[in-house]
A and B are shown apart, each in its own frame.
Chain A
Amino acid sequence: MKNKFLALLTMLALPILAFAEDKLDSGDTAWMMMSTALVLLMTPAGLALFYAGMTRSKNALNTFSMVMGAFVVAFLVWVIAGYSIAFGTNESAMLQNVFGGFGNIMLDGIKWTDLSGTYPTFVFIAFQGTFAAITIAIASGSVIGRLKFSTWMIIVVLWGLVVYAPITHMVWGGDGAYLFDAGALDFAGGTVVHMNGGLAGLVLAILVGKRAGYNKVAMKPFSIILTAVGAALLWFGWYGFNGGSAFGANAIAGLAVLTTTIATAAGAVTWMLIEWFMYKKPTLLGIASGIIAGLVAITPAAGFVSVSGSLIIGVVGSIVAFFGVVKLKKIFGYDDSLDAFGIHFLAGLWGALSIAFFAINDKDLLWDGPLKESGDRMGQFMVQVESVLIVGAWTLIGTVVVYFIASALTGGGRVDEETEHDGLDEAIHGEKGMNL
């Protein structure tokens, strides 16, 4: 896979010297277009329902709008400049570490006949765009019920350029990109997407403050049925997210599809059992949360790990996320409303670190890194730790900057007291989630 990235990047930089081996494969092309559609489904259907169902009924429509709005805006930002920053090649070797430059603004310089390995570059761009868009949409779950829609839209624009694209470049940006060169393994976006989106959510939640009445009044979800349907759609789409991250219709994609299934089921069973033992009742929200925790945990590892490895990753991912949602949030008292941090950051963090222990030591499978070069699992672990720390620090600082700019541009990031009390659905959108 790494070779395909290299091929792509070399080709972008030196279009005349495109390798003879770059030949379009219809099977790979079909799978990548299908994967793009699958990943797309995850956001405006899966994540939107997952989140809206968990929100109070007066804010459910706003929650759905935040996700769908983020998706459409982030996709445009991706095409206009995000792709260039993430996957472009910078002439300065120093800047290439973190920043792909502006050479492909509006996809300038990329032709419809260009190939990314064995399928069209345009398909790669669309596929990666769905990743960029879901990442910021994940963060919305931490700030529903009080963040202004206008502030949110500005955050989406800036965040895609300042946080998402440089991080993607560092991890997946090819030769000369810092974490890529260091040998960090992130199959489908444990660091790039889930840790990143989850941490951005936490930062925003702290900056915008808690919902009025948090920890005092009951905040009952609109409909857990919708949340469960959302989780099911996310799982369905995740086959494109992880399977598509093999960048071809091949055996690695097959491995990713299987490990994704195993870890997810294991995560769901684990959460269900924890609740059953601790609170005497297995909730549907718990099963749905376990599904997401398992999916997130396996994401960075999907195409690298063994069957038993994926089972452990799912189980532990669910335990870690449960701890985040039930304990950590209480201890520190932040209002991570729909647990974007608790589930996406923590399970993503665990998944990213777990690769060092559970990756199959098979050179045909692995990307370049200490594990592939010398079977050095401890060395790989240190690289994983480094990637987690760098991504975490970048997200933290970048999100703070983005929030303050967005907040200043929209006259404060928080809705007024009356809007928050009456519900954002009617006050902001003039609509209700359901008219009975």
Chain B
Amino acid sequence: MKKIEAIIKPFKLEDVKEALVEAGIEGMTISEVKGYGRQQGHSELYRGAEYVVEFIPKVKIEIIVSSQEFADTAVNAIKEAAHTGKIGDGKIFVSDISSVVRIRTGEIDTEAL
């Protein structure tokens, strides 16, 4: 089982969601997050005062899938839907998951997905 975490631009959430649904991915968890990457944020001016915006708002999507193939499908769907080609498009992380439990029924692992 794989976990996919994707950090994307907030305005791309709707497109990514649609792409994932189309790819057959049934569920997801999202959260509003802030962060920075290689650009280290950017500086802005307001009324003559300069300040640094270090953490830029992003959306994080978390998906758990049963197999490597599904993980590849999901990663591709996100990669295409979230792409703008500009700085700050985000990143996708894939990792292994050791167990899953569905609280309502007690089902475990792939049964619970």
CB nearest neighbor in B for A217: B14
Residue-wise, chain B 1-38 has the 8 Å CB interface mask toward A (1 for contact) of 00000000111001000000000000000000000000
Chain A residue numbers with a CB within 8 Å of B9 are: 418
Contact of B10 among A213, A422, A430 (CB under 8 A): A422
Give bound CA distance, A178 to B44, whole Å. Answer: 54
Say yes or no: is A364 at the interface (Cβ < 8 Å to chain B).
no
Q: How many residues of B contact A (CB 8 A)?
A: 8
In the complex, number of A-B residue pairs with CB atoms less than 8 Å apart: 14
The reply on A421 being an interface residue by CB < 8 A is yes
For the complex, what is the distance from the CA of A431 to the CA of B44, rounded to whole Å?
A: 11
Of A213, A417, A420, A430, which is in contact with the most chain B CB atoms at under 10 Å from its CB? A417
B46 within 8 A of A: yes
B44–A430 contact, CB under 8 A? yes
Closest to A416 in B: B11
A418 to B11, CA, bound (A): 5
User: Which A residues from 404 to 436 make CB contacts under 8 A with B?
Assistant: 417-418, 420-422, 430-431
In the bound complex, CA of A420 to CA of B14 (Å): 13
Contact present for B46 and A422 (CB under 8 Å): no
Tier of interface size on chain A: under 10
Interface of B is mostly: mixed
Q: Which residue of A lies closest to B15 (CB)?
A: A417
A421 to B9: give the CA distance in the assembly, Å. Answer: 10
Bound Cα distance A44, B57 (Å): 32
Interface string of B78-102 (1 = CB under 8 A from A): 0000001000000000000000000
Cβ contacts under 8 Å, B11 to chain A: 417-418, 420-422
With A and B bound together, what is the CA distance between A276 and B14 in angstroms? Answer: 36
Instruction: Give, as a whole number of angstroms, the nearest-CB distance from B107 to chain A.
Output: 33
Over the window 210-221 of chain A, the binary record of Cβ atoms lying under 8 Å from chain B Cβ atoms (1 yes, 0 no) is 000100000000
Whole-angstrom CA separation of A418 from B58 in the bound complex: 12
Please determine whether B46 and A421 come into contact, CB atoms closer than 8 angstroms: no
Q: Which residue of A lies closest to B86 (CB)?
A: A418
Q: Which B residues are in CB contact (< 8 Å) with A430? A: 44, 46
9 A-B pairs closest in CB distance: A421-B11, A418-B11, A417-B11, A422-B11, A421-B10, A430-B46, A422-B10, A430-B44, A418-B9
12 contacts between A and B (CB under 8 A): A213-B14, A417-B11, A418-B9, A418-B11, A418-B84, A420-B11, A421-B10, A421-B11, A422-B11, A422-B57, A430-B44, A431-B46
